[in-house]
Structure 1
């Protein structure tokens, strides 16, 4: 895993690892002594080498503990399946939940879009450039406008018209497609439809949306017009997981841009689109890279 300096002085992870025998482990449990020791010992006993480890505790006295580890394993000395079985037993014994993934495995991702294509184009470009490591078996839209762009990437485009009259039927058609392709992540790239609770329940913590506002400010339609009327000095965008509560799911990433009285509503929309595409792509990358854990209505982003 290579890193480079961000402009804010932090480190930016670049998802360019070529290690075929590298894995990622995410752990959540009640904070108590020995958790790290037990996990480290298991990896050591199975000839694995920890290359990166991050931990976070909400409260050392009875709070929650979260950890992300990247490690290399030796398939000849200890097969991955053996390590998986060992973690299953360890999790039962010490009462923690975990997710273990091979870094080389590509998740199946679907993109939903309406008419505006700025977020869609950003995701497709990063995907083709290898910055988003995933397979994209399909793009679904309630409008036909972006068919040509999507199909130019060799990705099937499905136009499913959705109105109040056929909303349930349209969602069932989309769900059927998603299930057929074993989709693990759905990205709403400015998909201007409200998903029903039935749809959301099919894909818990697997749907990422971009909201064209710095939530919780200016929710709903026309946020840039509302921001203009308030004379805001900052505009932003929010990427979050989708829940039944509209625009109130766990926030993954937010970004902002400073503006002033000279900016028109059109200026704000143009600037906002740039923020939206960056914030959404960043959130999607973190999810694909197994850097996110959800606790209550918050995310822990490693």
Structure 2
């Protein structure tokens, strides 16, 4: 009995090879498992799959292969803002990512977390403030009058009060009585005069400092009013120059200029929008 070998079919069309990520470079760090992250730290939306890089805590996209999800990688990125000279690449670049969470599960976990956060109630204890003790009348008056006025009030009270003076046999006033032998109002006025006399130099020095500060502030305001227009124009021109440079980078005039990737173009558009808003605010202040 003879065995017939199968005839090998002639392939007229090349077989489709498995697609892989563009770069063979991979990070030395361990594979990052998506399930170990919090739901708010990654985004599985098919339009933009991204996560927060554990190395630099920055949102970066994930480059996912068409066939093997285990070969997903974090795209290369820098730790500095866009436009920084000599940027340093993040060590988390090209790190393998294991996407072991489905989009439905991620969306459910995110919804449950939002519902739990909204249902929380603050457990902070709000204590009622203690009622402050009202100051005495002489304490209130002491902060409103100076040492000369307090001395005049004390002298006027002594002249009109028989208990606060020492008289001779003929009824003539010899001198003011001691503080301990005066009436209640006389003792308060004598203490007020002594306190204002002791605090007078410090009060006058503080008053001079307040007046000096007010004069400096007024002078600063006058100088600012003189140069505010020029400073505003310089700020607007600086933002306008940066905006023009970014627009030229986005739409270069040279045909041999390097082409931007979709992520670089999106990041550049965000910076342009931010500068345009800043320019609008500066022009509105003028």
**TM-score class, shorter:** under 0.3
Q: If the length of structure 1 is used for normalisation, what is the TM-score?
A: 0.15
Higher relative contact order (CA 8 A, sep 6+): 1
Name the one with the larger strand percent. Answer: 1
Q: If the length of structure 2 is used for normalisation, what is the TM-score?
A: 0.15
Larger radius of gyration: 2
